[in-house]
Amino acid sequence: MREVPGGLRKTLQIDGMHCASCAQAVERALRAVDGVASAGVDLVNERALVDVAGDVSDDVLIAAVRAAGYKATREDRTATPDTLVEHDVERAKGARRRAALAWALALPIVAWMIPEMAWGVMWPSPLAFHFGMLALAAPAVFIAGGPTLRSGFTAAVRRAPTMDTLIGLGVGASFLTGVLAALAHVGMMPSVPDYSGVAAMIMAFHLTGRWIEAAARGRTSGAIRALLGLGARTARVARGAAEVEIPVTDVVVGDLMIIRPGERVPTDGVIEAGESSVDESLATGESMPILRHVGDRVIGATINGEGVLRVRATGVGEATFLAQVVRLVQQAQATKVPIQALADRVTRVFVPVVLALAAATFLAWWLAPSALGQIATAAGRFLPWGSSDASPLGRALFAAVAVLVIACPCALGLATPTALTVGAGRGARSGILLRNGEAVQTLSRVDVLVFDKTGTVTVGRPQVMDIVSREIPADELLALAGCVESASEHPIARAVVAACETRGISLAAASDVRAIPGRGVRGRVDGREVWVGRADWLSAEGFPLDAWEAVIARMEDAGTTAVGVAVAGRVLGFLSVADRAKPDAREAIATLRGMGIDVVLLTGDNERAAHSIAAEVGIDRVIANVLPEDKVSVVRGLMAAGSVTGMVGDGINDAPALTSADVGIALGTGTDVAIESADITLVSGELLAVVRAVKLSRATFRKIRQNLFFAFVYNVVAIPLAVLGLLHPLIAEAAMAFSSINVVLNANRLRRARLG
């Protein structure tokens, strides 16, 4: 549970959902509770994310779900990967047992029906045949298919019919024909064809589909289990002079952990002693280990290389990086993409429409069979079930059952969440964290990507390259700048302070320090007011720069930033500060442009320095001298021009622009504020990760479109055939089961998508 604007986000585990209609019923029940701001249901992982704006207890939410006919429990945060796997395995085993029972009874029915279908012989006698069919079909329908029938009946009683309602009606009507046929044989009513054996086969196909679907959905949600399974089980911590091995759940913030070569880092921390290469592939998706030194942060569950590390724990339990990744993946899986709105609207009315269509089909065939009968008779030359021998009532039941069975919207409901679940998990394993489903669809359509310069396109570690001082020694000028810059976290400020440390310059404490975002900083050092910042800012504040124009031009022509230092109303000198482009920047920009995306460099730096970096990495469009508060206006201007615009940044100054863009992408090497403001977080901080994110979004959205297309076309083609009596109920059920399985398997192909 975490805070959301205006309230809290709660997570519930939901049992008993089988289709999109079930998920929508749960959503409607939760949204109807007073104080619930929004609710989203993840059908694949059987979870509900509920944003509550008021004081709404878990018990109230659980009661609302129970009233809708489903079971809800609080999220079990103590669940281990093993228990999650066990839950999915048991669910798949139960589905397999039900399918096995149904087929154990359906296969003898098939063998018994062959003489009747081929030669019209009911062996050993018509009465024995009818009662035998009923005896074999009953356990398959009512025992193996009991959960389906109960779920469908409950939904119908609550006036919220689901896929199970359609299956239940189709199977029930088929089984009822067996009872009527037996009664007809003893002269109690007119002759009716016996489809009771078909009822057992329909249920067997349905349960087989459920079994395969459960196994495939278990693999689909396996990304979270895999992430959870990466964590270490134990930790070696210092207790006085001794080293003690304890469960990782007992580690507390402040513990000193000892990590030997080849061991996993138990939890997030900072290195206090030692140096080693750390395999961070679980976080970044990159296989090359990263050399980590004293003072560097390490992520829990990463693998230590060749050296012994002593790490002070800084985050445990829910506060670790791995736990945050799992929450983001779960959150993304429970959200919806905009295109799903169409599927939801269709699904909401689909089942009632199908029920009405099945009723209309039955009446049309029973009361006015001549027109439809001609089509079925003509088809009888090619289809064994198109014969005109059946009575109007028999044909009416045949067609109505086929409509009920073929029109189940299960594939339509699974189309989006399965693809989104696999995509979010695939992204997490590649260092791409998706905050919501909408970001996937938006990023797949992005045609303009705006990149911040410092720390995004560049490495974010500027260095002081040159010092020009005319009235005081260079070291004294650098010291004045360092004193006021030491209070700032800006990359240029860190570069100035680092230069002071390199030269062994001690820094006095500055007072009354005030940072002016995008311009510079000023403060008092030894009673003197010191100004450090951009040339245009100093000029605007009244400092004369005529004597420094050549120096400024030379520095900017070299692609560096000119930082002026002024004291007592005059400029004493300039520092030349330069940052270098990231090694993969040029390749990433070229790849994005090859994908049809226009790239823009947005920076508060001067024109010359910005164009120098842009030319180095291959960016043509540059917008420079932009203050932090103006970045939002630039992004919104691009959006207003009709572009689907993404913003890529890493700093606190980028947060407003990240939020304003159609989709915000934060580099994980940046500040927490930027990451929280973004729709997508790239853990590695490499620009090639942006390429991978775009490719993942396009691949995921492509699967969503494919799944929706197959689901819609399947129903559009199949339902008219069923209405015309050209689709056998057994074939209809097999096709329905196959369509759902195909959607899930198609989504799972995302696991093999190439992002590099």
> Comparing C-alpha atoms, which of 589, 552, 593 is closest to residue 466?
552
Q: How many CB atoms lie within 10 A of CB 660?
A: 18
> Comparing C-alpha atoms, which of 365, 374, 381, 398 is closest to residue 732?
398
Residue 296 CA to residue 209 CA, distance in Å, equals: 51
CA 611 to chain centre: 36
CB 126 within 8 A of CB 181: no
CA-CA distances (angstroms) from residue 415 to 23, 336, 445, 608, 650? 13, 11, 19, 50, 34
pLDDT at res. 286:
62
Mean of per-residue pLDDT scores for the chain: 85
Question: Strand pairing of 268-273 and 309-315?
Answer: antiparallel
Domain 2-77 is found in CATH 3.20.130.10? no
Residue 552 CA to residue 613 CA, distance in Å, equals: 17
Q: What is the CATH code of the structural domain delimited by 432-458+582-683?
A: 3.40.50.1000
Q: How many CA atoms lie within 13 A of 504 on its CB side?
A: 0
Q: Which of 190-194, 350-354, 477-481, 682-686 has the lowest mean pLDDT?
A: 190-194
Residue 64 CA to residue 30 CA, distance in Å, equals: 6
Residue 723 CA to residue 740 CA, distance in Å, equals: 21
> Comparing C-alpha atoms, which of 88, 102, 67, 77 is closest to residue 200?
102
- Which CATH architecture group holds 463-578? 3-Layer(aba) Sandwich (3.40)
pLDDT at res. 4:
47
pLDDT at res. 79:
56
Q: How many CB atoms lie within 10 A of CB 676?
A: 13
Task: List the structure tokens of 108.
Answer: 């003898």
SS3 127: helix
Which residue type sits at 564?
Answer: G
pLDDT at res. 672:
55
pLDDT at res. 571:
94
Whether residue 331 has pLDDT greater than 50: yes
- Write down how long the chain is: 756
pLDDT at res. 358:
92
pLDDT at res. 584:
93
Which residue's structure tokens are 């842009």? 614
* For residues 115-119, average pLDDT: 76
Partners of 750 in the beta sheet?
none
Q: How many CA atoms lie within 13 A of 372 on its CB side?
A: 23
CB 426 within 8 A of CB 332: no
> Comparing C-alpha atoms, which of 81, 60, 73, 66 is closest to residue 26?
66
SS3 298: strand
Is the pTM higher than 0.95? no
* For residues 397-411, average pLDDT: 81
pLDDT digits (tens, 9 = 90+) for 554-581: 998 887 889 999 998 899 999 999 888 9
Task: List the structure tokens of 542.
Answer: 């009244």
478 burial type by CB count under 10 A (0-12 exposed, 13-18 middle, 19+ buried): buried
Q: At what angle do helices 410-429 and 688-723 cross, to 10 degrees?
A: 170
pLDDT digits (tens, 9 = 90+) for 465-509: 999 998 899 999 999 999 999 888 778 888 999 999 999 998 988
Residue 533 CA to residue 607 CA, distance in Å, equals: 16
Q: Would you place residue 333 in the very low, low, confident or very high pLDDT band (cuts 50, 70, 90)?
A: low
Task: List the structure tokens of 438.
Answer: 């909408």
Cis ω before 462 (30° cut-off from 0): no
Which of the following is catalytic: 452, 579, 650, 679? Answer: 452
* For residues 337-359, average pLDDT: 80
SS3 374: helix
pLDDT at res. 284:
66
% of the chain surpassing 70 pLDDT: 88
* For residues 317-332, average pLDDT: 74
- Beta strands (DSSP E) in 568-712 are 570-578, 598-602, 621-623, 645-649, 663-667, 680-682
Active site residue 452: yes
Compute the Cα dihedral for 141, 143, 149, 151 and give only its sign.
negative
Across the beta sheet with 276-279, what order do the strands follow? 290-292, 276-279, 303-304
Partners of 532 in the beta sheet?
521, 565
SS3 519: coil
* DSSP structural state of residue 517: T
Residue 751 CA to residue 622 CA, distance in Å, equals: 37
pLDDT at res. 671:
47
pLDDT digits (tens, 9 = 90+) for 244-294: 999 998 999 999 999 999 899 999 999 999 999 998 876 665 656 888 999
Q: What are the b/e assignments for 716-739, b being 16+ CB within 10 Å?
A: eebbebbbbbbbbbbbbbbbbbbb
- Name the strand (E) or helix (H) holding 375: helix 369-379
Task: List the structure tokens of 255.
Answer: 């513990």
> Comparing C-alpha atoms, which of 222, 439, 224 is closest to residue 325?
224
Whether residue 2 has pLDDT greater than 60: no
pLDDT at res. 334:
63
- Name the strand (E) or helix (H) holding 88: helix 81-119
Whether residue 190 has pLDDT greater than 80: no
Question: According to DSSP H, which parts of 407-436 are helical?
Answer: 410-429
Which one is the CATH code of 231-324: 3.40.980.10, 3.40.47.10, 3.50.50.60, 2.70.150.10? Answer: 2.70.150.10
Whether residue 359 has pLDDT greater than 90: yes
Task: List the structure tokens of 404.
Answer: 């009920």
pLDDT digits (tens, 9 = 90+) for 420-473: 878 888 888 788 888 878 889 999 999 999 999 888 898 878 889 999 998 899
- Beta strands (DSSP E) in 206-298 are 234-239, 242-247, 256-259, 268-273, 276-279, 290-292, 297-298
Whether residue 161 has pLDDT greater than 60: yes
Q: How many CB atoms lie within 10 A of CB 706?
A: 17
CB 554 within 8 A of CB 533: no
Question: Strand pairing of 7-15 and 47-52?
Answer: antiparallel
> Comparing C-alpha atoms, which of 595, 577, 593 is closest to residue 585?
593
* For residues 668-672, average pLDDT: 57
pLDDT digits (tens, 9 = 90+) for 124-159: 998 899 999 999 999 999 999 999 999 888 888 888
